[in-house]
Amino acid sequence: MQRIWSDGPTHHMKPAFLPFALPEIGDEEVAAVSEALRSGWVTTGPKTKEFEQQFSAFLGGGVDSIAVNSATAGLHLALEALGIGPGDEVITTTLTFTATTEVARYLGADPVLVDIDPVTLNIDVTKLRAAITPRTKAIMAVHYAGLSCPMDQILALAQEYGLKVVEDAAHALPATCGGILVGQLQSDVTVFSFYANKTITTGEGGMVVTRDAALAHRMKVMRLHGMNRDAFDRFTSKTPAWYYEVIAPGFKYNLTDIASAMGIQQLAKLPRFLARRQYLAARYFDKLAALPLVLPADAPQGDVHAWHLYVVRLAAGAKVSRDEVIQGLSDRGIGSSVHYVPLHRHPYWRDRYQLTPDMFPQADAAYQSMVSIPLFTAMSDADQDRVVDALQDILG
């Protein structure tokens, strides 16, 4: 893909701004969405059912997939179905997006933040164990950047203490842990995101996956107003279409058929998307090796890293600051980002739980030195070379 723009009447050509992320949406998605629009069924219906079935099949079957209008909604449904409520504690990492923890607050529960492992940037399991109290009900494992947490250790810990496990797999489609796809592990619920910059997108959307039939039932009911029948069932089953019963004050979290039609096409492209992300990540590893950077941890031998993000950190002794790197990239027409301003630095979480940076030395140090550089399927090798050259220029 060639993206250039003319810089005024001199016809001096300058490369277009290279964003940090961009979805790859082709004619297939456009055709599928058009078909959904013309079908007369735009809300949750046959396309959503098909998307859910195909998602379960992609994961290898034996699980229930429940489409929702965001991963945030899915995380909320998961904690609600697990019975998390006021006074309960849910342990997770400080190096995540606020959606991971805000859902605990929706239910009156308290997230308990834990520092990270400085190599993987995932939750530190030793510190996770130390954070368990009599109020702890669940662990939320966030697979940072698309690298799975050590789920064997986390699941063993959960079993030892009788805790529930929810995986925030917003970055982790598809990733594996011990050779098993995230979504097929022994946790209670796994939640994927189809937000615009994730590994597949429906604009906004998410998928909740569980092998527990009772949890699946509760989440399906709560996804749509606490009604015991969804619209598709009402219009396809033999009981009168107008009749339903409300059994709980549920939410409005269903995914539309318009979005699902897009999701089906994106899912079909996922193997190619993954291959492209793996190729680009390997190329970054190769071309950035000599720079004063700490490159991201790869998945253990035999496992798959989803490469949602490629996060580099400045090595100790680098001559420029993180902010100067971001500015330098921007000056050269390259977008970048930071994942994340850790939760302990956000006013709401900081003030509510009296959190200070010294409580999270690894996450805080990582935050000060990290930059997420462009990684998306539609970027060309030449786009990537621009990023490499710019970093060489800035850091060299």
By annotation, the residues acting in catalysis are 198
C-alpha 52/C-alpha 64 separation (Å) is 8
Select the residue interacting with ligand PLP from 48, 56, 65, 100 (CB under 6 A).
100
Stretch that binds ligand PLP, among 15-23, 97-105, 242-250, 362-370 (CB under 6 A): 97-105
If one asks whether residue 223 binds ligand PLP (CB under 6 A), the answer comes out as no
| Residue 311 CB, nearest approach to ligand PLP (Å) | 12
Beta bridge partners of 190: 167, 209
Q: For the beta carbon of residue 326, count every other beta carbon within 10 angstroms.
A: 19
- One character per residue 21-60, x = contact with ligand PLP (rule: CB under 6 A): ----------------------------------------
For 66, the enclosing helix (H) or strand (E) is strand 64-68
Nearer to ligand PLP, 223 or 386 (CB): 223
If one asks whether residue 142 binds ligand PLP (CB under 6 A), the answer comes out as yes
Stretch that binds ligand PLP, among 56-64, 93-101, 257-265, 321-329 (CB under 6 A): 93-101
- One character per residue 170-199, x = contact with ligand PLP (rule: CB under 6 A): xx---------------------x-x----
C-alpha 210/C-alpha 63 separation (Å) is 6
- One character per residue 69-88, x = contact with ligand PLP (rule: CB under 6 A): -xxx----------------
Q: For the beta carbon of residue 161, count every other beta carbon within 10 angstroms.
A: 14
| Residue 191 CB, nearest approach to ligand PLP (Å) | 8
If one asks whether residue 101 binds ligand PLP (CB under 6 A), the answer comes out as no
Q: Which of 343, 11, 314 is nearest to 144 (CA)?
A: 343
Q: Is residue 197 helix, strand or coil?
A: coil
Select the residue interacting with ligand PLP from 94, 96, 187, 260 (CB under 6 A).
96
Q: Cα–Cα–Cα angle for 129, 83, 252, nearest 5°?
A: 120
Q: Which of 156, 166, 218, 208 is nearest to 187 (CA)?
A: 166
Nearer to ligand PLP, 45 or 74 (CB): 74
**264, 50 contact by CB (below 8 A):** yes
Nearer to ligand PLP, 59 or 255 (CB): 255
Contacts 24+ apart (CB under 8 A), 330-334: 332/386, 332/390, 332/393, 333/14, 333/15, 333/16, 333/17, 333/18, 333/386, 334/17, 334/18, 334/373, 334/374, 334/386, 334/387, 334/390
**296, 86 contact by CB (below 8 A):** no
| Residue 361 CB, nearest approach to ligand PLP (Å) | 21
Nearer to ligand PLP, 65 or 318 (CB): 65
Binding residues for ligand PLP (CB under 6 A): 70-72, 96-97, 99-100, 142, 168, 170-171, 193, 195, 206
